[in-house]
């Protein structure tokens, strides 16, 4: 006779739901990498054994949270992006679904962002993303529009978890972006030849500091801040843990220094491109080149490191404060960069916040598509930057 599973009681089903809600809250507060059975059990007020009886490992528990709590809301947001990018759906609702979203979407995006290094999650998330994106069947223009919109929406969620933005600015940005996506633009300068730039590495002139920053970039980008140890960073740099501690008090201090150093290097590498921002036509070209640098192989180690830093900072106010400081510096740079084109400070602030968010979203998307570094983003940036220039009164 076949073995029949025993009917579960209402009490057991309720306990299942309580565990999933507690696990969702734990990831929202502390992050996926910190998810543990004992912490979830404490939230519910039960023993860890009761959690283990239902889920063998934290990764299996995370899979259950995705399937039962996050999958529906997150894929609904992605479906909305796909509809709007294709000229359907209501673009006015996108920002409300991205800013101030509930834990299911925020945690869902963290799962999607980190699934590349969590096989249990990747094997169930990747097919869903692939199915919805239908990437290989899309035209170059469709890819540009979809990547841009998904990049900004996912980036807004990640950015807003760290630095709460002004929702009115996000609404204005989304209105301009969706208008640009719906605008057909004919390029007048031939084939797209993206300037991909160089790999981002530390070049401070201090050999030990450079080695540690590059090691931190590689290790944190691969395994996340939570699983990174000073010893592992030191080994990759060819140094002992003790030698690392002579330079940095903790791995957090090293993370902060690495963020500052590598961001400066990325800005320097982009300088030849951003120096061309002198009129509305060239603004669109410059933005397209910068976006192309926001995905693909050359900058992948830097982009993954930056993504991991934002994920960590979404659960750590001390790290978020450092990113807030870097954001303010970036805002000032955008003012200087766009001033020659006649862009007002208010519009430059809008461009700056979008410019911070999109690379984060593209860094997530990069794990699911193969050709971000070849996309001709001029399909979106040329009309978009024209609208921005019009709003600013630029020539």
What is the domain count for the chain? Answer: 2
Q: Are residues 220 and 124 in the same domain?
A: no
CA distance 23 to 201: 37
CA distance 324 to 310: 11
Q: Is 199 exposed, middle or buried (0-12, 13-18, 19+ CB in 10 A)?
A: middle
Query: Is residue 93 a contact partner of residue 174, using CB atoms and an 8 Å limit?
Result: no
DSSP 69: I
In a domain, 200, yes or no: no
Final residue of a structural domain among 105, 133, 161: 133
Q: Are residues 84 and 211 in the same domain?
A: no
Q: Are residues 346 and 220 in the same domain?
A: yes
Q: Are residues 123 and 19 in the same domain?
A: yes
Report CA-CA distances (Å) from 348 to 87, 116, 306, 339. Answer: 27, 34, 23, 8
H/E run at residue 391: helix 378-392
Q: Are residues 219 and 313 in the same domain?
A: yes
Final residue of a structural domain among 133, 159, 192: 133
Domain with 260 in it: 207-392
Q: Are residues 251 and 122 in the same domain?
A: no
* CATH assignment at residue 235: 1.10.357.10
Residue 354: count other Cβ atoms within 10 Å of its Cβ. 25
Q: Are residues 276 and 384 in the same domain?
A: yes
Report CA-CA distances (Å) from 152 to 99, 110, 235, 381. Answer: 12, 15, 37, 13
In a domain, 3, yes or no: no
Q: Are residues 261 and 350 in the same domain?
A: yes
Which residues in the chain land under pLDDT 50?
1, 395
Give the per-residue pLDDT at 2: 52
In a domain, 283, yes or no: yes
Q: Are residues 378 and 233 in the same domain?
A: yes
Final residue of a structural domain among 91, 108, 133: 133
SS3 content of the chain, % helix, strand, coil (to 5): 75, 0, 25
Tokens found for residue 65:
């949270």
What radius of gyration, in Å, describes the C-alpha atoms of the chain?
Answer: 22
CA-based nearest residue to 153, from 190, 116, 118, 101: 101
In a domain, 187, yes or no: no
Q: Are residues 224 and 117 in the same domain?
A: no
Per the rule left: phi > 0, alpha: psi between -120 and 50, beta: everything else, 190 is left
**What does the DSSP assignment read for 48-95?**
HHHHHTT-SSHHHHHHHHIIIIIHHHHHHHHHHHHHHHTT-S-GGGHH
In a domain, 5, yes or no: no
Torsion (CA) 352, 356, 357, 359 in degrees, nearest 10? 130
In a domain, 4, yes or no: no
pLDDT tens readout for residues 240-296: 999 999 999 999 999 999 999 998 888 888 777 777 665 556 777 788 888 887 666
Give the per-residue pLDDT at 286: 80
Query: Is residue 290 a contact partner of residue 193, using CB atoms and an 8 Å limit?
Result: no
User: Where does the chain show beta strands of DSSP type E?
Assistant: none
Report CA-CA distances (Å) from 264 to 253, 270, 395. Answer: 17, 10, 30
Give the per-residue pLDDT at 395: 47
Q: Are residues 109 and 223 in the same domain?
A: no
Q: Are residues 215 and 117 in the same domain?
A: no
Tokens found for residue 178:
């969706």
Query: Is residue 85 a contact partner of residue 50, using CB atoms and an 8 Å limit?
Result: no
Give the per-residue pLDDT at 79: 95
Angle made by CA atoms 338, 173, 327, in degrees to the nearest 5 = 60
Query: Is residue 45 a contact partner of residue 22, using CB atoms and an 8 Å limit?
Result: no
């Amino acid at each position: 006779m076949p073995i029949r599973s025993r009917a579960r009681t209402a009490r057991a089903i309720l306990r299942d739901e309580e565990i999933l809600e507690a696990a969702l809250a734990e990831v929202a507060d502390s992050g996926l990498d910190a998810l543990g059975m004992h912490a979830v059990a404490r939230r519910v007020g039960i023993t860890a054994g009761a959690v283990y009886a239902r889920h063998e490992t934290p990764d299996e528990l995370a899979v259950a949270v995705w399937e039962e709590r996050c999958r529906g809301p997150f894929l609904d947001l992605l479906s909305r992006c796909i509809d709007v990018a294709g000229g359907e759906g209501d673009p006015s609702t996108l920002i409300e679904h991205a800013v101030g979203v509930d834990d299911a979407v925020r945690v869902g995006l963290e799962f999607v962002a980190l699934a590349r290094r969590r096989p249990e999650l990747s094997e169930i998330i990747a097919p869903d993303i692939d199915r919805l994106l239908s990437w290989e069947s899309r035209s170059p223009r469709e890819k540009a529009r979809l990547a841009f919109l998904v990049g900004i929406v996912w980036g807004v969620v990640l950015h807003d978890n760290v630095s709460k933005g002004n929702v009115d600015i996000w609404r204005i940005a989304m209105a301009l972006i969706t208008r640009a996506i719906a605008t057909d633009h004919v390029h007048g300068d031939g084939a797209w030849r993206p300037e991909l730039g160089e790999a981002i590495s530390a070049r401070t002139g201090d050999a030990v500091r450079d080695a540690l920053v590059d090691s931190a970039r590689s290790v944190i980008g691969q395994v996340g801040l939570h699983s990174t140890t000073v010893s592992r960073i030191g080994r990759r740099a060819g140094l002992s843990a003790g030698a690392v501690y002579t330079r940095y008090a903790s791995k957090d201090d090293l993370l902060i220094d690495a963020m500052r150093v590598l961001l400066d290097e990325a800005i320097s590498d982009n300088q030849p491109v951003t120096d061309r921002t002198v009129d509305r036509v060239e603004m669109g070209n410059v933005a397209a080149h910068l976006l192309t640098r926001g995905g693909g192989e050359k900058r992948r180690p830097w982009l993954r490191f930056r993504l991991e830093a934002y994920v960590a900072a979404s659960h750590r106010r001390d790290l978020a404060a450092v990113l807030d400081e870097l954001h303010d510096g970036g805002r000032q740079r955008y003012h200087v960069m766009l001033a020659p084109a006649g862009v007002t400070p208010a519009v430059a602030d809008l461009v700056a916040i979008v410019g911070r968010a999109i690379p984060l979203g593209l860094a997530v998307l990069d794990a699911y598509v193969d050709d971000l570094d070849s996309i001709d983003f001029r399909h979106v940036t040329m009309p978009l930057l024209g609208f921005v220039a019009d709003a600013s009164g630029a020539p």
